[in-house]
Structure 1
Amino acid sequence: MPKVTSYAPAWLCRPSPGASLFTSSSVKSPAQALQVVKPAVADGPTRTIAKRGNEVFVVVDNEIRWANLARLKDQWQHQTRQKKSAAEENAEASSYRVLAVPVYGHIKQLIPSPNGAFLAVVTEHTVHISVLPDSSHLSSTDTAPIRLKTYQLGPTTHVIPEAPVVSAIWHPLGLHSNVGGCIITVTADAAVRVWELDRNNHWSFDQPTLAVDLRKLVDGTSSDQDFAPSGFGKNKGFSADIIDMEAASASFAGNGNDKEDAWAPMTLWVAMRPGDLYALCPLLPSKWQAPSATIPSLSAAIIPKLAALEEKGPEDVEEQLIACRQQYEWLQEIDDQESLDPSSAGSGTIQGADVFSRPMNPSAIPRLQGPFRFDTGDEVDDLDLCDILVIAARLNVDDLMMGEDEELAVEANDQDKLSATTICLSSGSGRVHICLELDGVEGQWLPKAKKNAFRAPLSEPSDLVLVESLDTVQGNVNTWPTFTRDAHSRYSFFVTTATNVVSFSLSSWVQRLETELQAEDPAGSAFRLQVLCDGTVAQRQRILRVLETDIVSPQDHLAASLVFYDFDLGYLLITHHPSQPYAAAMDAPADSLVVENRLYDHKPPLPHSPAVAPQRPPYQVPAVLYAQSPLEAFIDKNVPHRQRHTLKEQVRLSPATLDLVAAAHRLLSAHTNALERAASDLFRRCERLQGEMHDQLKQLSDVAERIKGVTSEVGEDGRHKEGTRNGEALDRRLQAAKDKQSDLIQRYDRLRKKVLNSGGRPLSEKEKSWIAEVETLSQSFADEEPEAEEDQEQHLAHRLQTVKQLAVDLVSTTKAVLVKAPSPAEPGSPSSPGSTQPKVPQRLQRARVADAMRMVERESAVIDAITSRLERLNTSL
């Protein structure tokens, strides 16, 4: 878990140049905001801040601004050293550049391409692709706005009459260069479109290379059907899928890493608003790049599986055999290809990747897998999902190349990997659901059409394992939570709601779970897995919170957070509100304990804590104090220029004058109310600061008195004064405290080692036999045991007598065997070595006797245990 060391740094607070990047150029008051008729904010993610290295793109007043955060930080440090005023510094250099983009709708999302060459600007219904200049060009001394070369994606596809755009994702296996790229768009009507962009071919921005309507595909029976979405202006009719398959968000399972499952980066997960999940695998562009471990891992998984299924026979596993043969046919077409030259197809973003063409067999459109569902236990069926985050399963290194690539196996054997896909979902109520997909999603296709054959749809529901559900906000708040991946661990992420940023970490739980899943001996794993799933799964900590005084409009929503981790900025989380930026500087996660949920707790910090999170963010001046007076704008809008001289004359009573005064009163009341709230908040902070300083001084005085009481017993010569406590007593108390502390540390270390060794450790033969004996004994007590206490006592007494009789019989039998045992034979006797009669070795005789004695001792121990139990029963009665 990250530790918050400080909040918004000085170079992002007023009056630094960095604060102007996130602040409106013409700050409006709340009264003026009431005058402006804002468009209704549709449901959808607010990703109005994006990054490219240290560069940041942010949407303010529906204009895109660019700045280099490292440069802003250097400017502030230079300003501090030179002791220049903010006005002088701003006159020398501007803090940001305006990127002019011909977008007329309300910008909802900014998504840079993986190589930083393009920027996808998404409104509610339209998608625009802008070509980003180089960082050196943007950092020039010229402060004029830069007009970007922009292409509208699908001018007749993404338009206002059609369904809104919910997600725009750059394909992780697409070919991204300065000339083109591959982006996936998902609309609310569950239409998925693949766009392969090429600046030299403008037609690539008009029509997608692959378009799939999931509502048609879910009922598809053959790959020869037409699954393309309905065209512009066509009547789509009505079906139940209009509500059940309303898309909310989409995400790829992987990012093209060699250490993740080979199917993950080509699997698109789509979350529907009611709660169902669907997967498309494989979804690829016509030209795609395969990481170095993709093709070998697919071969190592598909070929042995096909051979095993063919040995069983097609009658037993017909459906699995058909699916595996399709995968083999798809993989065989890839093997038959020769890898294309990356320079001719476009510079790939994955190092060492091979470029291939998308196989046409079995089909370019995969089968829709799902729906994937999980049981929340609530009565409400509609989960109102908002966003999805998929963490790919780790690569199965054991089956890869049969141990030929040992270096890759060593690198991929990471503890921070799980052999199952982790799916995180957020709902409109602020709740986060963490699920596991254990079966794995592999490539599947619909079969070819057959004449005179009817086939039912193959889409069958699948169950997800719901691990934990956590809340990020309190109460029923209408919000759209969005996920942000962490920079340190793939199993850590941040959730941004309307007024909060919360951190989640699954790293420690994933390590323990993977140890159990990979255990060689499954004995006891079911119990340990149940304990793991019933306990705490995700560690949760609130990072940021928007105060009530900073909320100007109820429709304002925090932008999805960004996480920076480099030498210049450190470990920094940043987001922004329409009024001001919010940031938190954090420490890199370590193995030390983390104090959770202490951001706004006024209790004293825990002792022995190396670094305690600050109690609250520093005070920032509310934006209303920088707002312009609403009267000037009101007069310019409502009073004609030729009648303004009447405002200085005597007031004449009339209906027009009354309406003018009432409207002005409404504006002034809203403005003064916001000013009063800002001033009262500052007053309360000052009072609270005085109280906290008084408490701190009181604690310091108490500690000083205690120190003085201890030091007063020692004179200037170092000896204890007369009449005070003996120094030996103090030394004994100190030594006793040290001994107790060392004992606690040793006990903790023993328990820790015992717990660590228990996870995944195979049981010994002695432990297995002891478990079997205990289970047999408990089963014998449980069989036909009377319910009444008196009957139970009689039953145990009868069993005790039986055991005693058996013990006596065994002892007598043993003695008889010993008596009948032949003595050592004399030479010449029939049992002598020279005799023909068989001879039993004395070692075997002693072994048999020892076994009999151990059996007698075991029965005696059982008798003693039953006797003690009877005595306890008699005592209780």
Structure 2
Amino acid sequence: MPKVNSYAPAWLCRPAPGASLFTSSAIANSSQDAKTSAKPNPASGATRTIAKRGNEAFAVVDNEIRWSNLARVKGQWQQQQARQKKGPAALPKEAPNGSGLPAYRVLAVPVYGLIKQIIPSPNGAFLAIVTEHTVHIAVLPDASHLSSTDTAQIRLKTYQLGPTTHVIPESPVVSALWHPLGLHTNIGGCIVTITADAAVRVWELDRNNHWSFDQPTLAVDLQKLVDGTSSDQDFAPTGFGKNKGFSADVYDMEVASACFGGNNTEREDAWAPMTLWVAMRPGDLYALCPLLPSKWQTPSTTIPALSSAIIPKLSALEETPEDLEEELTACRQQYEWLREIDDQAPLDPPAELEMTQGAEIFIRPGNPSAIPRLQGPFRFNTGDELDDLDLCDILVIAAKLNVEDLMMGEDEELAVEASERENLSATVICLTSGNGQVHICLELDGIEGQWLPKAHKNTFRTPLSEPADLVLVESLDTIKTNGGGAVTWPTFTRDVHSRYSFFVTTASNVVFFSIASWAQTLESELQAEDVSGSDFRLDVLCGGDVAKRERILQVPHADSTAKNEHLPASLVFYDYDLGYLLLTYLSSNPYAASMDTPEDSYSGSTDLLENTSPVAGSPALPPRRAPYQVPAILYAPSPLDSFVEKHVPHRQRHTLQEQVRLSPATLDLVTVAHRVLSAHTNAIERAASDLFRRCERLSFEMKDQLRQLSDVADRIKGVTSEIGPDGRRKEGSRNSEALDKRLDAAKDRQAELAQRYDALRKKLLNSGGRPLSEKEKSWINEINVLSESFSETEPKGDEEDQVLAQRLETVKRLAASLVSETKSIMAKVPSPEPRSPSSPGGSQPKVPQRLQRAKIEDAMRMVERESAVIDAITSRLERLNTSL
């Protein structure tokens, strides 16, 4: 869990120049036009009006796009603070704020609707600008060009995407996604747009071909595709101005959000980056795989991974074609699709394309079809009686690559090392709903490419698509807003440190969720060889707490309820200059949190989301909240400064210098002035009252903290010294030495428990939580028997019941006696003298020399054998003693 070090940094708050990035320029103008005064409706879709490119930030304020380099803004502020410490003489005369560079630049684009989303391309060359019904593609200049000292607006080169497709009479645009497998250069890119009526369009942009901005290269109507029976049908969306008719799918397939299943990395499943997941408002999910542009790039592991999965599966299914006919047909389609890719020669990459090592470019196969089959609906049971889940956003975490099949026949150590890079071998799907809930689901079967069959004569069989069930792991509630009935559209933001961590931005707060530790434990259980008891352990694992959550930011009630505004989806920066920073904004105020990285900090298990009461007798922790920021209305210019220019006609301005006369024109002028001034003073009164309430609350909290400190001091005095009314220690009271001994004993006990806990935790992690096998149990029993036999107890009974230690000593004594006896015998035996053939034989019998050698050799072999047995027993006992 990330630990929040500080909230909105000083270089983003007033009076720092960086605060102007999010400050509205029309705060005091109550009669501004609809273009600048209107706000995006939170109930109509996600609000993503803040984006990043490296350490650069793009923000939509007053319906204009502002750009700023946050690292440069922070550096300027630090330089300004350093100059102020040296004195006023250190500040340049031409730049009172310490630098001649502006805090932000305005990017002028010809967009007349309310901007709801801005999405930079993966290489940062384009910026997709999404309104309610239109999509514009702006060409972004380089950061060096934007960092000039000029303060004038920069007019961007902008193309409207589908001038006759995304228009006001048509369905609103829900999502715009840059395709992870597209060719993204400074000249073009690939973007996918999804409208509320389930129309998916793939646009392959090329600045040298303006026709690429007018018509998509691939368009699919999911409402037609869900009932499709053949790939030869027309699944294109209905054209502009044509009657679509009525269908029940208009309500059942209303799109809430969409996302791709992967990010085009070598460590994820090969099908994931070409799978488009679409979430419908009622609660159904659909998958479109494979959805590819006409030219697409792939990592070096994609094609080998697909081959290692499709070819063995096809060989296994061909042995039993009668039982699994549908699976065999789908696998043959995948084989034909893959064979067409293998027959291609990889294309030469464009000069502007930045490709990773080993990546290749292919042309989209035309067989079986360019339009895949719509898989789904995928559903999960929440246990509620309501059928409409009111889904808002979706986040898909791809499964890891199957390294065992990919590296079959390779080095086992290399395969194990590669498999440990990722955690979970199942797809994780996270969903948010309008009531503030976050649903975490698992898709265990895996999504693979599927296509509709070709049309054949005399064939009336319709391919059925039955609903598939998702495993609902956990449903969590985000923090409720103080407004209660405020409309919220929770949105996801991926974390930069872990694939299994993310942020959820609601109307008034940002919450961090992490399932990293749970995913690691689940993967170790899924990959275990011993499956005995796995059902019970999986039930316990999925039935407990899955996700860890912590509130990162909380917007004050006064800002969150004003004008029914909604926090845009937050950004996460991880930069050397900025650190680990979470950033969003609302009502001209930035809301940020500087956090510790997971490697540098460890957060406890305190759940800050629940309002739990403190333990009786212990001081309560103070509430953690962001520092107070001055409302924008308090430093906004007075509307009366420009009242004459905006509200008084030019022909009537000369009357302001004359004597006041009662007339309809004067009455209208006074009415307008009263309306403007009352709105301004009302906003100032609300801000001042909020400041007054904060000051009162701070006073009460300080008094409460002082009272708690006094209580703690009294308790400390009562513990360390029990003094009677006469000033002397009471009889039988504890002295300081006894308390110190108890404290030292408690510390030692705590350290011992911590060591024991770490040892047990390491053993459990190494064992994976699996039960002992029969071999392990027999080995433990043998160790116990040998340990009992190796004890120092006295022997009881005859020789067979002697303990192992005494038997070993007896063997050693016998061996020593045999060796000494053998040496003595060898010393007594005289050496044989040669006998001549003429000498007569002696009176005593002579032992033949050959027989003597045989006897000696037998004795030496027996001694060596006994010595080897003794050495083996000794070494085994030493090993057992070491293990015990």
Q: Secondary structure at the match of 2:292?
A: coil
1:581 alignment partner, one of 565, 587, 590: 590
1:533-682 alignment to 2 at 5 Å? 533-551=542-560, 553-590=562-599, 592-598=602-608, 615-631=624-640, 639-643=648-652, 664-682=673-691
Name the CA distance, whole Å, in 2 between partners of 1:436 and 1:95: 45
Name the CA distance, whole Å, in 1 between partners of 2:178 and 2:37: 34
**Structure 2 residue aligned with 1:362:** 368
Name the CA distance, whole Å, in 1 between partners of 2:414 and 2:159: 41
Name the CA distance, whole Å, in 2 between partners of 1:540 and 1:533: 16
The code of the aligned residue for 1:149 comes to K
**Structure 2 residue aligned with 1:334:** 341
Alpha-carbon contact 1:277-1:371 (below 8 Å) kept: yes
1:273-306 residue CA offsets vs partner (Å, 9 max, x unmatched): 1111110101111111111111111111111111
Mean CA deviation greater in 189-198 or 454-463 = 454-463
- In structure 2, relative to structure 1, the CA distance for the partners of 1:349 and 1:501 (3 Å cut) is farther
**Structure 2 residue aligned with 1:869:** none
**Structure 2 residue aligned with 1:224:** 232
**Structure 2 residue aligned with 1:209:** 217
The code of the aligned residue for 1:363 comes to S
Matched, 1:528 2:537: yes
Name the CA distance, whole Å, in 1 between partners of 2:385 and 2:667: 54
Matched, 1:413 2:402: no
Instruction: Report how far residue 77 of structure 1 moved.
Output: 0.4
Alpha-carbon contact 1:278-1:371 (below 8 Å) kept: yes
Instruction: Report how far residue 741 of structure 1 moved.
Output: 2.4
Instruction: Report how far residue 88 of structure 1 moved.
Output: 1.0
**Structure 1 residue aligned with 2:51:** 50
The code of the aligned residue for 2:583 comes to I
Q: Secondary structure at the match of 1:289?
A: strand
**Structure 1 residue aligned with 2:64:** 63
Name the CA distance, whole Å, in 2 between partners of 1:600 and 1:30: 39
1:92-137 residue CA offsets vs partner (Å, 9 max, x unmatched): 2211111111112111111111111111111111111111111111
Instruction: Report how far residue 66 of structure 1 moved.
Output: 1.0
- In structure 2, relative to structure 1, the CA distance for the partners of 1:613 and 1:421 (3 Å cut) is farther
Name the CA distance, whole Å, in 1 between partners of 2:616 and 2:597: 20
Instruction: Report how far residue 351 of structure 1 moved.
Output: 3.5
Instruction: Report how far residue 407 of structure 1 moved.
Output: 7.6
**Structure 1 residue aligned with 2:253:** 245
The code of the aligned residue for 2:63 comes to N
Name the CA distance, whole Å, in 2 between partners of 1:730 and 1:485: 51
Alpha-carbon contact 2:108-2:156 (below 8 Å) kept: yes
Name the CA distance, whole Å, in 1 between partners of 2:293 and 2:125: 19
- Report the number of matched residues: 760
Name the CA distance, whole Å, in 1 between partners of 2:447 and 2:226: 16
Instruction: Report how far residue 308 of structure 1 moved.
Output: 0.8
Alpha-carbon contact 1:550-1:623 (below 8 Å) kept: no
Instruction: Report how far residue 37 of structure 1 moved.
Output: 6.6
Matched, 1:145 2:147: no
- In structure 2, relative to structure 1, the CA distance for the partners of 1:131 and 1:654 (3 Å cut) is closer
Alpha-carbon contact 1:486-1:493 (below 8 Å) kept: yes
1:595-626 residue CA offsets vs partner (Å, 9 max, x unmatched): 54548979899999xxx998211111011112
Mean CA deviation greater in 667-676 or 254-263 = 667-676
Q: Secondary structure at the match of 1:92?
A: coil
Name the CA distance, whole Å, in 2 between partners of 1:113 and 1:641: 47
Mean CA deviation greater in 509-518 or 474-483 = 474-483
Q: Secondary structure at the match of 1:326?
A: helix
- In structure 2, relative to structure 1, the CA distance for the partners of 1:309 and 1:400 (3 Å cut) is same
2:390 alignment partner, one of 384, 390, 393: 384
Matched, 1:200 2:208: yes
- In structure 2, relative to structure 1, the CA distance for the partners of 1:726 and 1:169 (3 Å cut) is closer
1:293-338 residue CA offsets vs partner (Å, 9 max, x unmatched): 11111111111111111112x2110000000011111111111111
Name the CA distance, whole Å, in 2 between partners of 1:121 and 1:36: 17
**Structure 2 residue aligned with 1:441:** 447
**Structure 1 residue aligned with 2:313:** 305
Matched, 1:501 2:501: no
- In structure 2, relative to structure 1, the CA distance for the partners of 1:521 and 1:724 (3 Å cut) is closer
- In structure 2, relative to structure 1, the CA distance for the partners of 1:728 and 1:16 (3 Å cut) is closer
Name the CA distance, whole Å, in 2 between partners of 1:164 and 1:450: 37
Name the CA distance, whole Å, in 2 between partners of 1:371 and 1:111: 28
Instruction: Report how far residue 46 of structure 1 moved.
Output: 1.0
- In structure 2, relative to structure 1, the CA distance for the partners of 1:266 and 1:113 (3 Å cut) is same
What RMSD, in angstroms, separates the aligned Cα atoms of the two structures?
Answer: 3.4
1:148-187 alignment to 2 at 5 Å? 148-187=156-195
Q: Secondary structure at the match of 2:328?
A: helix
Alpha-carbon contact 1:543-1:599 (below 8 Å) kept: no
Alpha-carbon contact 1:212-1:227 (below 8 Å) kept: yes
TM-score with structure 1 setting the length: 0.80
Matched, 1:284 2:285: no
Q: Secondary structure at the match of 2:563?
A: coil
Instruction: Report how far residue 370 of structure 1 moved.
Output: 0.5
Instruction: Report how far residue 754 of structure 1 moved.
Output: 6.6
The code of the aligned residue for 1:594 comes to G
Alpha-carbon contact 1:17-1:90 (below 8 Å) kept: no
Alpha-carbon contact 1:339-1:356 (below 8 Å) kept: yes
The code of the aligned residue for 2:452 comes to L
Q: Secondary structure at the match of 2:420?
A: coil
Name the CA distance, whole Å, in 2 between partners of 1:267 and 1:605: 50
Instruction: Report how far residue 759 of structure 1 moved.
Output: 4.1
Alpha-carbon contact 1:6-1:614 (below 8 Å) kept: no
1:389-468 alignment to 2 at 5 Å? 389-404=395-410, 409-414=415-420, 416-468=422-474
Matched, 1:134 2:142: yes
1:740-763 residue CA offsets vs partner (Å, 9 max, x unmatched): 424543564466457546644243
Matched, 1:761 2:767: no
**Structure 2 residue aligned with 1:72:** 73
1:707-726 alignment to 2 at 5 Å? none
- In structure 2, relative to structure 1, the CA distance for the partners of 1:412 and 1:287 (3 Å cut) is same
Instruction: Report how far residue 234 of structure 1 moved.
Output: 1.3
Instruction: Report how far residue 640 of structure 1 moved.
Output: 4.0
The code of the aligned residue for 1:384 comes to D
- In structure 2, relative to structure 1, the CA distance for the partners of 1:588 and 1:671 (3 Å cut) is same
Instruction: Report how far residue 733 of structure 1 moved.
Output: 2.2
Name the CA distance, whole Å, in 1 between partners of 2:707 and 2:138: 60
Name the CA distance, whole Å, in 2 between partners of 1:667 and 1:144: 30
Instruction: Report how far residue 737 of structure 1 moved.
Output: 2.2
Name the CA distance, whole Å, in 2 between partners of 1:604 and 1:541: 18
- In structure 2, relative to structure 1, the CA distance for the partners of 1:17 and 1:223 (3 Å cut) is same
Q: Which runs of 5+ in 2 are unaligned?
A: 723-728, 779-884
Name the CA distance, whole Å, in 1 between partners of 2:544 and 2:374: 34
Alpha-carbon contact 2:35-2:113 (below 8 Å) kept: no
Alpha-carbon contact 1:269-1:279 (below 8 Å) kept: yes
Alpha-carbon contact 1:4-1:614 (below 8 Å) kept: no
Alpha-carbon contact 1:600-1:615 (below 8 Å) kept: no
Instruction: Report how far residue 60 of structure 1 moved.
Output: 1.1
Mean CA deviation greater in 635-644 or 571-580 = 635-644
**Structure 1 residue aligned with 2:803:** none
Name the CA distance, whole Å, in 2 between partners of 1:768 and 1:319: 46
Instruction: Report how far residue 58 of structure 1 moved.
Output: 1.1
The code of the aligned residue for 2:486 comes to V
Based on CA coordinates, which of the two structures has the bigger radius of gyration? Answer: 2
Q: Which runs of 5+ in 1 are unaligned?
A: 714-719, 770-877
Q: Secondary structure at the match of 1:212?
A: strand
Instruction: Report how far residue 691 of structure 1 moved.
Output: 3.5
**Structure 2 residue aligned with 1:9:** 9
Alpha-carbon contact 1:6-1:613 (below 8 Å) kept: no
1:515 alignment partner, one of 513, 524, 534: 524
Mean CA deviation greater in 171-180 or 72-81 = 171-180
Alpha-carbon contact 2:40-2:47 (below 8 Å) kept: no
1:417-474 residue CA offsets vs partner (Å, 9 max, x unmatched): 2111111111122211111111110000011100121122432211111111112242
Alpha-carbon contact 2:503-2:511 (below 8 Å) kept: yes
Q: Secondary structure at the match of 1:260?
A: coil
